[in-house]
Chains A and B, each alone.
Chain A
Amino acid sequence: MIQRKTIQCTINGKQVENVVDVRASLTDMLRNDYRMTSVKKGCEVGECGACNVIIDGECFNSCIYLAVWADGKQIRTLESLTGPGGELSDIQQAFIDEGAVQCGFCTPGFIMTAIEILETKKLYTRDELRKLLSGHLCRCTGYENIITAVEKTMLQRLEA
């Protein structure tokens, strides 16, 4: 018999209630029940970072996070970053400008980690950024452009 549980959580600022299968990962729930398709299914064992989302202010690989654990949590995905007309946020634009996107599969995960980094409002060195972004795999870009995009946005936000 399938075991289900009712949970309540906030997804991108919206309070929701959902009946989830206890076997579901948070990736399953966000993609299948809420069409948050920025949350990618990559390795599904917590190594590639493509499914990364922010839960209560910290980044987690949603593939190794059970959906039932989301009960009472605030979840943010990449979908929360764009404006009402689909306008890109500064960090998304920086990824495009710096050539940090090629196939795009790793991009939402990287950007959500970038959001966590940017919201600390701290100045990091390139080496520190490299470590903070080390939970993501990109098979296209070679990382340099990604680090540059995050660094550029960090400096812009700190100047503002």
Chain B
Amino acid sequence: MYDIEALYEASSVENAVELLQEHPDAIVIAGGSDVLIKIREGKLAGCSLVSLQKLDELRGVNMDEDGTLRILPLTSFSHITKNPLIQEHINVLGEAVDMVGGPQIRNIGTIGGNTCNGVTSADSGSTLVAYDAIMEITGPNGKRQLPISEFYVKAGKVALEPAEILTAILIPKESYNNCKGHYIKYAMRNAMDIATLGCSVNVRLSQDKKTVERLRIAYGVAGPVPMRAPTAEAKGAGKPASEETAALVAKAALEDVNPRDSWRASKALRLQLVEELTKRAFIKAVELSGGAL
């Protein structure tokens, strides 16, 4: 038995918002792989829950008319990885969430939960930040959109107002078009582990595949929330798609990050990982884009 005061099962998005208005102290539960564990640990013992589990309208990945990828927040990690639209346009996201926990966790854990819990180590977080995802939020006043960089406020805190829920994660066509990315998770184990550092890099190469037209880099666990590396990105843009550029960019990334010492790893190790993973992920992203280093 879980120590739950009350469970309210939402029957629609509107109903979820109403339930959250009626029960302002209730916690939103999607897949439950974070919330139920916190209840078990006692951190959330005695809480009330608003469950989104039955909202099949929030599952799946679609494409809007303008080519925007619309990732619905209750889509499980394994369904993200298997989705043909994801595989075609933003395969790196499917690969990244395929590194979460283990197979059963990837069947229950949702991409919306992974972002809304505001955790820096979220395997989806860095790639979504690197692709300038737009968060569509629904609340008592209707819908609003927010860039993911503004969505993450601080560790464990996202920009959801009372009674608001995440209803879509949007990737504009301009963001994913003609662009390939690679994610590297560094952890102590290959499964059932949390990233010591995560690094997601994507590039758009020139037509002749020789020059980096656009470079985007983001990290998990390099700061309190998933974060971009603007200095490193500026350093790489317009440069040849080469190993020298990889090294230059990786070095520059150290100016952007702010990792800390924790029981998982020291700041020194994380800084070393930032440089090394950036280099490797950059090289892989260039190769995936058809570049020859």
Contacts and interface: CB of A to CB of B under 8 A. Distances in A.
A61 B191 contact: no
Contacts of A24: 1-2
Interface of B: 1-4, 6-7, 9, 32-33, 36-37, 40-41, 51, 53-54, 78, 101-105, 107-108, 190-192
In this complex, which of B4, B7, B102 has the most chain A Cβ atoms within 10 angstroms of its Cβ? B102
Interface stretch (A82-90, A93-101, A127-135, A149-157): A127-135
Contact of B37 (A21, A60, A64, A132): A64
A47 B192 contact: yes
B44 to A, nearest CB: 13
Given A68-B7, A135-B191, A61 B108 contact: yes
Contacts of B101: 46, 135
Contacts of A23: 1-4, 7
B102 A134 contact: yes
B104 A46 contact: yes
A71 B56 CA distance: 14
Contacts of A44: 40
Interface of A: 3, 21-25, 28, 44-47, 49, 52, 58-61, 64-66, 68-69, 71, 113, 131-136
Contacts of B6: 3, 22
B104 A45 contact: no
B102 A135 contact: yes
A64 B190 contact: no
A66 B3 contact: no
13 contacts: A21-B1, A23-B1, A23-B2, A23-B4, A61-B104, A64-B33, A64-B108, A66-B7, A69-B51, A69-B54, A132-B103, A135-B101, A135-B104
